[in-house]
Structure 1
Amino acid sequence: GCDAGYNSCKEKHSLFRAPANASLFEEWDRAIPRADKRLQENSAVCSQHFDDRYILRANRLVIDGKEVFHPRERPTLRADAVPTIFPNLPSYLTKQLPKERKRKAKTSPQGPPQNKVRVGSGDVEELPAAQVEEPQIDQHAAASSAVFTANLHCPSDFWSIQLFSDRPCLISYQKARFLPERKPPLLLEKVVLFETDETKRTQCMIYLNGLLHQEKTVTSVSDADDVLNCVDKLRLCAGVGESREFSVDIQGTSKHLFGTRLFSDRCMGAVTGDGQRSCLSCKYFRQLLKGRQWRVKTKAKRPLDTAAKKLGRALRTLKRKQKAVVTLLERLNKMKAQNEQICKEAFEEQLKKLPKKQQESVRACFEASKRASMRGYKYNRDWLLECIILRMKSARLYEHLRRHKILVMPGRTCLLQYVKNFKATFGFNGNLLRAVKAKTRAMDEMKRHGGLVLDEMKLSAHLDLSASSTIQGFVDLGSFTPKDQRHTKADHGLVLMFQPFVGKWTQVIGVFASSGNVKADLLTKIVTEAIILCEQSGLLVDYVCCDGASWNRAMWHNFGVHGSATSVRCKAAHPSDSSRFVYFISDVPHLVKCVRNQMMKTGFNTQNGRVHWEHVVATWKCDRSDVTLKAAYKLTRAHVFPNGFEKMRVDLAFQVFSPLMLRAFMVHQKEVEQLYPNLKVTYEFVALMVDFIRVMTSRFPARALRPGKAQEHVIDTVLAYLDDWERHANGRGFLSRSTSEGLRVTLQSTKELLAYLTQKVGFQYLMTSHLSQDCIERLFGIVRQSAGANDNPTPAQFCVIMRCLSFCSLVKSTRTGNVEPGVLESLLSPQADEVSGRRDSPEPQMDISDLGAVDSIVDHLPCVSESSDAQLIYYAAGYAARKKISTSKCEECKALCLLKQCQVPETLPAAATKEWDMGGLLYPSKELYKLILTLENKLTQVFSTCKLHAGLMVDVVSALGGLPRIGCPEHAECLTKEVTKFYCVTRLHFFLKGKNKTDAEKKKKMQKNV
């Protein structure tokens, strides 16, 4: 058989993957005489099995009548290539192809033919035979020579032509309309795009009113002219109307906004009939919006409660509380009688001899010994804080100590009641900032200096129903939430964290849920607000650190920060203190990864010479033997040939730019020079990166950055190297704009931060590891681990986890000091959140007071689009009866709401319940079934007609009216409310679960299609 591609084969041959064309794939499969294995999609065939005429090894250019051959970088096959040669098999299996006709030599043309459009001076063809090897070809010139639509005749003077510098094969003919109220005041109402691909095939795309009208292939100049003339004669659709004409919410509708006018997403952009202004799709869409606007105006508002019902409910609550007070007083008197024999003063005197932490635990143990049960016991606040911290560190250890009664500790639900007062929502939390302010009062000023670190992580788009019947999982940016995104699912989480220059503690400042990344303008406002709130809480913000994402760079530019060879601006005016500045820093590990990835891709054209990644590859190959000793023992295949995930690992990039790599270069210099000369340039570049990493990642005082020392000189050296490199490269072989700008701004900010901290704050040195995003990456690792088996946490999980982490970082004492007992009082005390004017949406009032106040509701639509089967509704009524009626102590209520199987009348749809009954199902009465049927119809109507949003339960409650009562006269109202609330909440749970499942299936299907 063929041994090409194996290590045993010394000769190197080109490999060609099996064709994607189905017919050509079958022809290859028939041509290859192999019975043990059929041809597969990922199979490859070497160049030995193809005739030379099928292999294109060079491009032939005809310029001014002369042929010029440019070798291809990689050989390729002709479109009709089929394997015909099999040297190691019997000769009859090799097919002899007919001799190729001799190609006539091309002479210099006197002028272009009359029936063709001449685009350029050159012609490009593929040369089958190989005569030169590997190089690069100017694809821009080759592509532009194939465009024949560059000089078409415009239908009128109102048409214009547009060329693109980055897409030479793309030409646009367009007709614009002037709108003075727009900026810019031009609107392209007709656009015809001609694009020529590598095979000289020209594709035409027609856009009318911003919508794709038609897509076709043109083969000649006449075809292209016909297309332009036809488009010029088309009458444009007037659309639905102006967007301001409709006052209803149109975000969830199938619409297209072009300028200030609305169009249906099914609109083709043009009308065909005479006298028509809009197409049928736009007409129907306008009727739909008008009807919706009319229904919104005529919708009646229903009162949710009445004063009489509220008063009755309050009186019943007061009566229960009074009974509880009497019971507690009786128990308290008994306890006092038992404690009379103990001398409290003597006990406290002995207790003071213990450490403060032990005093709390011993006092709790003695208090517990005097009680028959710990139910209703109010724990000391200091002891509660210790229990909360202990459970955060290890939930298993906490449960072990509590269950075995080693220590007296509150249960999980008791702790949650206290932690709930520390309400952590998306946005900036007032309770959190007040606790931070209390904590910073006892801290030294030097320990309060630091920076703001921000980053985003991916979340799973998922909706959850909270305990307050509010749907969670939508975009929540606090007071910065755009109105058009309030009903959009969140799939990203943004975290802002404060990181000090001194110490290992960090503090989460703000948490946000967004759809995609937060845009630069909005991110600028959030960062400014965070800096102001940190300063008000006692935290002194001196820098802002982020990664190199495009929206973060745009945020820099909004602050006026930029970096180039001619000008570097690394700071902005401080929003809280006019005498200070805020410095901007890009994450150093991210910059190192970008440098490594670009070096792998193209190499660098430095002022000292060419830096090649092949030097690293050759060094690894010389050093990878397991038999001999290794100079770079940490270097693996993942360092040299990383996959998509390994390119994101910081440790792999740092180990490439490490002293181990320099040692390996020195040891294997001769072997590497024989394969790839000029190793010295790569050695010097890696050495410079080693010094840069060492200076920008110092973690202990011995290697810290000090003014006037060698570390500061390294920063100046790197800045000068970047300037000389950019001038020499002249746009070729240099870093990307984002990476070079990040390096310049980061290095300049580090220098100026060092001068500010040492001259004005009193620092002796700066540990640069506190200028990176390592702290927030560790935080995201904890969040992902806490989310369980999910790929990414849901927005609700993300909010809960960040609440615990914010709480934990506050209650932990710093290593160099203690937190006073009264500092964290705000964590366990409910207070109003007054940050940034945030207004939380009111929780839905599920306790319906007057069920008979409203006879009916105004339907949103003439009919409900979907409805549940009656047999399933009867089965669900039995489930509600088991949860709320079977546990009732009133026998009369049970008799009125439940029936025996033999008592069920034929009018009730109980056939399915009887079929599924294995001895434990309940059979609701006619009144209970009627109540559940009414609720199901109302809920189905709301689910079908209302857009999904956080306060959907409010819409459900507002739709309920005229519900039939169940139970005895004494308990009818209370029992009806309980069943109604239980069924509505349960049904909403089922609805959200199905919605999440459907969305997940759609997402999975789209990923497969991609």
Structure 2
Amino acid sequence: MPYCFVPKCKGGSKAQIQYYEDNNLPKLHFFQAPDEVTRILEARKKWSHLIKRENTVSKGKRKERELQYLKNTEKVCSAHFPEKDLILYYEHKVNGNVVRIPRDRALLKPGALPVLLNQYPLYYQPKVVERKPPAQRPESTPSAKRKKKSDVEDLEITDNSVNENVALEDLNTTASKNDDSVNSDISNNATEIQSSTSAETWSCCSIKNMKLPIDWVPCNTLSETEKFVAHINPKDLVMDKIIIFKGTDLPVIKIRGVSVTSVDLPPKLCTTTDAEKIVHKVDQIGVCAGTAEKERHRKIEMRIDKVEERKEKKKNRIKNTVRSLKRSKINLLSKIQKYKIKLDNMQAECQKKNETVLNEAVGKLPKAQQEAVKACFDASKRKGPSGNRYTAQWVYECMLMRIKDKKLYNHIRVHQILPLPTVSTINGYLRNYGGTYGFQPQTLQLLAEKTEGLKSRQRRGVLLIDEAKLQPGAYFDSSLLKIGGFKDFGEQNEEDLGEDFREEVEEALAKLPEDPLAPQRLKRQEKRKEQNQHKRDKTLGDHALVITFQPFIGKWVQTIACFLSKGNANSDELTKLILEATILLEKSNLLVDGVITDGASWNRSMWIKFGINEDNPSAEHPCDPTRRLWFLSDFPHLLKCMRNCLVKDKIIMTPEGDIKLEHWRAIVDANKLKQIGIRAAHKLTSDHLNPSPWQKMNCRMAWEFWSRSAAAAMESLRFQGCDQVDDCSASIKWCQLINDLADSMNANRPENAVRLESDAFKKIGEFLEEFIKLKDWRNKKLRDKLEMAEKARLAHLRKQGKNPRGKSEKYFEQQDWVFSDSTDIGLIVSLKAAQEIIKFLREKEGFLYVMTARLNQDALERFFGLMRQSCGRNTHPEPRVFAQLFRLLSIYSLVKPIRGSNITGGDMVTTLLNLEDLRKKPKAERHKALSDKLDEIILGENLEDIPEVLDHVDHAYLNETVDEFALRYVSGFMARHAKKYANNCSDCLESLQKPATERNDLDLLITHKSRGGLIYPSDKLVNLVGILEKKVIDVSLNNELEENILFVVLDALSSVRVGKVGCLLHEDDLTKCIMKSYLIMRMHFVSRRWNEKTREQRDKQKGLRKQAHLT
């Protein structure tokens, strides 16, 4: 319920409601001021002036009381309105009688005002200035000047107001205050003015019956002996004239707060008519507002008041803001404290929780997320990033992330998204896996543990062998102290594989079928070895041979080893590597049933060594005489070769007709006429018929060439009457046969896999039968031609009287290949081997089907593509980069457990961590040999002195190719590097540096490049570095780059005496450390310079080759 706006009125309160209910009084109604405008004031302002509710307002440094106006939402109760102004009933006339029904909500009559305000507080009562009555003076005649004026009273009032403008502020203040009191009595007398009549005798109570001019209103006071009337200026609604009546005494007249005494008044008020005359006289007096000059100070004071008021408001606002911010700060601090306590309690509860409870809660998540959550909980118990302990499974997940993307791994670790180990920690695990070329025992050991527990059918697979072109490049291996990048077949790892392994390989080589040309080949091989024995360490490799194991079941593929060779590996090397790989994998619980290569000539020579031919697609298994080892050629490669042979020969003869390239050209020509419309065999273009070198190796284009769409397009053109395809029956037949064969040999899903009873298996047999028939037909036709030619030759010789000798049988054993010798043999051997493998797997392991896509090299080609992509812009990576990437990708596939195995990734990481780094042995041996060699050089006696070196005056010991300034700059770098080997010995440190007083012009480069931190080396150190530099240059110029060039430099240094640096106690150790560091640094420079030189020669040869083609 609303409350009443009138001060000290309790309307709307609970006490007032209870009081009215107890005394059975009618309830109060509440009214808002209407928006109607009367002749004098707006209703809301009129109500506010009558109620006179004030508020205290600060204006600058002083406080004043200000009238509070009613708002739209504020109301006044019905207790302050006369009953006659209230509409409490509904009135209706029923049969001439007035019926009154009480209203639930009363209404106000128009013009009603709250005039019942008898309980005003004292400070709301209107204040009347009490003045003593003016002195009684005899009436005097006005002066002559004043008699000339038409209105004597106006003149006197004007003069009085002008003279008293000094008190204008008091006038306005008094007028504004009296304005409120005037308005409070307007409504009380408004209704009585109209009916008032003149009384014969005067009293203050007769003021209600006076007839007042317009804009004059009577005003009541609390005193019965004092009343006043006021004139309200209609322009600014301010009382400017007031007449105060006190009994029958003369009234007090105030105009704008200034008392006026010059008005002609009767000596005493006797009747009401006398009072009315006085009011009419005062009404006729004009009021002067004064001059503007007198009001200038008022404007400034108003501005000052406004400024002070704004300052006060701003100050209060700032105080309130500060107070609220302090309160907010206190609240936030209390919340922080509360949350800290809550966090401590939660941490204490978490610590009290048993690990089994946590494991039960985390067990609902996937396994990978379980490891991440556990790692996060373990990391939260640590105060810092160091000292963390990780599980093997979590290290396994982190290792895979690190291998996939190094930048993403660093982002997750730096931003603390997950508690990942540092990169150095991951590298520690990877370091145990050897990254050199050849068979790695670590790979075989991990592979044996990875496949442990798998069924035999899951461990069966084939070997994929292929080569990738590399860019020759040398690099210095600081761990092994040798130049890398040379031809490497992993001979250094054979000792780690054991003597038994060597014997098994030799036995397997002995069991191979005898080659009729073996003695000749053996002699050539031994001769080649003798010629290249001294060049073995000086031949940079440019081909990487990769061996991969691909199982028949499962999506995993594992690279076994890679080898670095100069050119393509020959058949002897391939034969030995295949036997070694097969024996090692069989020892690692894997079963090798086949070998897949491409159709290169060296691979066909390797087939011959194993006894592989058109009638025999398999050889005896080197590990089990009862098993067979099948050999296959990569089918996509065979498909490309068939297309390329037809493009080259243009025609292939068959019993059904000729297979002509013109039949495919007719399709292309027909498609050109329909550039916008729908075309048959739309994928076939002129590039398929005239391929560029790289398009000849494109498998997709070969598939599109032999597609069923091409055969259908030929049939469509022949039906349309195209002359080019009149004899395309053979082309259509073989195109369909090859397309069906491609589908059968490239099955990669269980839905289209090859089964013994399926059509795909039958299509393999049908193509093989048709191809053999075609081959026999072509050979018979060729043999007939040779026989006819031989008979004609013999007859011609007999006619000439000669006794001719017939050709040998080998002459008539020539073959007419359908495509080429390598392609035909590869097709026949691969298809026969595929049939036998499918039957073997069905009978031996119970395979329901075989996905023949596992019998090609697609997995290895994808591996090479990933390697090239990882190398950036380099299409042919360098040997060092290839070895590093091969290492990472091999570990990635190696540590991932196989589906169905009883081992986890964490177990694989544990095994990887526990592996013995077999490279430590040769590494330690070579470092020991380097240390011994340096000791021999430093401690050597009876050695030749080099006078040029010991002569520090003219420095003639330097070669012409050595820059003295650059040598001193590098010597300064070595001085800084050698400080950590000086053991904080002051004498050793002094022997490394040159005093400032001994610096000369030879130190000019250091002076110019220094920003205050470079070191000026001593002459002893420059002498030592100069000797080392001279020998490095001599060896590099006089010898070819080889693996052990570092030890060649040491051999050259062993014949001279080198100067020592340091004190007597530490000079041997300090000189040894300086020599070792400098020589290793220079080996890096030598290999880099060698690469630049070979690159320049290669670019020059490439440019000359292009010029030769142009001419």
TM-score normalised to structure 1 length: 0.61
Correspondence 1:683 to 2:776: no
Q: In structure 2, do the counterparts of structure 1 residues 738 and 865 end up closer, same or farther at CA, with 3 Å as the change threshold?
A: farther
Once residues 684 and 827 of structure 1 are traced to their aligned partners in structure 2, the CA distance between those partners, rounded to angstroms, is 56
Kept in 2: contact 1:584–1:746 (CA 8 A)? yes
Once residues 786 and 891 of structure 1 are traced to their aligned partners in structure 2, the CA distance between those partners, rounded to angstroms, is 50
Kept in 2: contact 1:455–1:495 (CA 8 A)? yes
* Correspondence for 2:760: 711
Once residues 849 and 378 of structure 1 are traced to their aligned partners in structure 2, the CA distance between those partners, rounded to angstroms, is 43
Once residues 699 and 396 of structure 1 are traced to their aligned partners in structure 2, the CA distance between those partners, rounded to angstroms, is 35
Shift of 1:954: 3.2
Once residues 1017 and 551 of structure 2 are traced to their aligned partners in structure 1, the CA distance between those partners, rounded to angstroms, is 64
- 3-state DSSP of counterpart to 1:486: helix
CA deviations 1:828-870 (Å, max 9, x no partner) are 2232659xxx97894334555576311476899x999985233
Kept in 2: contact 1:422–1:828 (CA 8 A)? no
Once residues 580 and 383 of structure 2 are traced to their aligned partners in structure 1, the CA distance between those partners, rounded to angstroms, is 52
Correspondence 1:844 to 2:927: yes
CA deviations 1:380-416 (Å, max 9, x no partner) are 3332222101222332332221111111111212211
Of residues 351, 359, 362 in structure 2, which corresponds to 1:351? 359
Once residues 919 and 532 of structure 1 are traced to their aligned partners in structure 2, the CA distance between those partners, rounded to angstroms, is 64
Shift of 1:362: 3.7
Kept in 2: contact 1:897–1:925 (CA 8 A)? yes
Correspondence 1:759 to 2:843: yes
* Correspondence for 1:510: 561
* Correspondence for 2:714: 665
Q: In structure 2, do the counterparts of structure 1 residues 549 and 368 end up closer, same or farther at CA, with 3 Å as the change threshold?
A: same
Of residues 721, 725, 729 in structure 1, which corresponds to 2:774? 725
Kept in 2: contact 1:864–1:944 (CA 8 A)? no
Kept in 2: contact 1:470–1:951 (CA 8 A)? yes
Correspondence 1:430 to 2:441: yes
Shift of 1:432: 0.7
- 3-state DSSP of counterpart to 2:755: coil
Shift of 1:527: 0.2
Higher helix share: 2
Residue identity in the other structure for 1:605: M
Of residues 729, 734, 740 in structure 1, which corresponds to 2:824? 740
Kept in 2: contact 1:487–1:948 (CA 8 A)? yes
Once residues 726 and 1046 of structure 2 are traced to their aligned partners in structure 1, the CA distance between those partners, rounded to angstroms, is 72
Shift of 1:443: 1.5
Identity %: 32
Shift of 1:491: 0.6
* Correspondence for 2:489: 477
Kept in 2: contact 1:440–1:539 (CA 8 A)? yes
CA deviations 1:166-186 (Å, max 9, x no partner) are xxxxxxxxxxxxxxxxxxxxx
Once residues 935 and 1050 of structure 2 are traced to their aligned partners in structure 1, the CA distance between those partners, rounded to angstroms, is 11
Once residues 756 and 886 of structure 2 are traced to their aligned partners in structure 1, the CA distance between those partners, rounded to angstroms, is 38
Task: Give runs of aligned pairs for residues 11-160 of structure 1, distance below 5 A.
Answer: none
Shift of 1:782: 0.9
- 3-state DSSP of counterpart to 1:443: coil
Of residues 536, 540, 543 in structure 1, which corresponds to 2:587? 536
* Correspondence for 1:928: 1021
Q: Which has the larger radius of gyration?
A: 2
Number of residue equivalences: 663
Kept in 2: contact 1:460–1:491 (CA 8 A)? yes
Correspondence 1:381 to 2:474: no
Once residues 1028 and 666 of structure 2 are traced to their aligned partners in structure 1, the CA distance between those partners, rounded to angstroms, is 74
Shift of 1:559: 0.2
Task: Give runs of aligned pairs for residues 356-755 of structure 1, distance below 5 A.
Answer: 356-375=367-386, 377-468=388-479, 469-479=481-491, 483=533, 484-563=535-614, 568-602=615-649, 603-624=651-672, 625-670=674-719, 673-729=722-778, 730=782, 734-755=818-839
* Correspondence for 1:119: none
Where does the alignment leave 5 or more consecutive residues of structure 2 unmatched?
1-346, 495-528, 783-814, 949-956, 1106-1111
* Correspondence for 1:827: 912
- 3-state DSSP of counterpart to 2:538: coil
Kept in 2: contact 1:754–1:766 (CA 8 A)? yes
Of residues 933, 939, 948 in structure 2, which corresponds to 1:853? 939
CA deviations 1:329-365 (Å, max 9, x no partner) are xxxxxxxxxx999857724542353245445434433
Once residues 850 and 598 of structure 1 are traced to their aligned partners in structure 2, the CA distance between those partners, rounded to angstroms, is 66
Once residues 392 and 944 of structure 1 are traced to their aligned partners in structure 2, the CA distance between those partners, rounded to angstroms, is 41
Once residues 943 and 394 of structure 2 are traced to their aligned partners in structure 1, the CA distance between those partners, rounded to angstroms, is 53
* Correspondence for 1:878: 972
Kept in 2: contact 1:456–1:493 (CA 8 A)? yes
Q: In structure 2, do the counterparts of structure 1 residues 815 and 373 end up closer, same or farther at CA, with 3 Å as the change threshold?
A: same
Once residues 887 and 733 of structure 1 are traced to their aligned partners in structure 2, the CA distance between those partners, rounded to angstroms, is 73
Once residues 671 and 995 of structure 1 are traced to their aligned partners in structure 2, the CA distance between those partners, rounded to angstroms, is 66
* Correspondence for 2:888: 804
Once residues 735 and 944 of structure 2 are traced to their aligned partners in structure 1, the CA distance between those partners, rounded to angstroms, is 74
Once residues 714 and 608 of structure 1 are traced to their aligned partners in structure 2, the CA distance between those partners, rounded to angstroms, is 19
Shift of 1:494: 0.5
Once residues 377 and 937 of structure 2 are traced to their aligned partners in structure 1, the CA distance between those partners, rounded to angstroms, is 51
Once residues 403 and 988 of structure 2 are traced to their aligned partners in structure 1, the CA distance between those partners, rounded to angstroms, is 46
Shift of 1:878: 2.5
CA deviations 1:557-592 (Å, max 9, x no partner) are 0000012xxxx1100001111221011100000000
Q: In structure 2, do the counterparts of structure 1 residues 370 and 977 end up closer, same or farther at CA, with 3 Å as the change threshold?
A: farther
Shift of 1:783: 0.9
Once residues 496 and 672 of structure 1 are traced to their aligned partners in structure 2, the CA distance between those partners, rounded to angstroms, is 53
Task: Give runs of aligned pairs for residues 107-256 of structure 1, distance below 5 A.
Answer: none
* Correspondence for 2:163: none
CA deviations 1:613-666 (Å, max 9, x no partner) are 111111012124232112222223322321111111100001111122123223
Correspondence 1:951 to 2:951: no
Q: In structure 2, do the counterparts of structure 1 residues 843 and 369 end up closer, same or farther at CA, with 3 Å as the change threshold?
A: farther
- 3-state DSSP of counterpart to 1:852: helix
Q: In structure 2, do the counterparts of structure 1 residues 712 and 827 end up closer, same or farther at CA, with 3 Å as the change threshold?
A: same
* Correspondence for 1:786: 870
Q: In structure 2, do the counterparts of structure 1 residues 712 and 360 end up closer, same or farther at CA, with 3 Å as the change threshold?
A: closer
Once residues 864 and 894 of structure 1 are traced to their aligned partners in structure 2, the CA distance between those partners, rounded to angstroms, is 25
Kept in 1: contact 2:959–2:1030 (CA 8 A)? no
Q: In structure 2, do the counterparts of structure 1 residues 408 and 971 end up closer, same or farther at CA, with 3 Å as the change threshold?
A: farther
Once residues 765 and 496 of structure 1 are traced to their aligned partners in structure 2, the CA distance between those partners, rounded to angstroms, is 26
Of residues 1064, 1068, 1078 in structure 2, which corresponds to 1:983? 1078
Kept in 2: contact 1:844–1:951 (CA 8 A)? no
* Correspondence for 2:1087: 992
Residue identity in the other structure for 1:826: T
Q: In structure 2, do the counterparts of structure 1 residues 936 and 517 end up closer, same or farther at CA, with 3 Å as the change threshold?
A: same
CA deviations 1:861-890 (Å, max 9, x no partner) are x99998523333223212333444499866
Once residues 497 and 596 of structure 1 are traced to their aligned partners in structure 2, the CA distance between those partners, rounded to angstroms, is 28
- 3-state DSSP of counterpart to 2:739: helix
Task: Give runs of aligned pairs for residues 320-331 of structure 1, distance below 5 A.
Answer: none
Kept in 2: contact 1:605–1:733 (CA 8 A)? no
Residue identity in the other structure for 2:404: K
Once residues 958 and 340 of structure 1 are traced to their aligned partners in structure 2, the CA distance between those partners, rounded to angstroms, is 69
TM-score normalised to structure 2 length: 0.56
CA deviations 1:283-338 (Å, max 9, x no partner) are xxxxxxxxxxxxxxxxxxxxxxxxxxxxxxxxxxxxxxxxxxxxxxxxxxxxxxxx
CA deviations 1:644-699 (Å, max 9, x no partner) are 11111100001111122123223333567323530222111111111110111111
Where does the alignment leave 5 or more consecutive residues of structure 1 unmatched?
1-338
- 3-state DSSP of counterpart to 2:608: helix
Kept in 2: contact 1:422–1:827 (CA 8 A)? yes
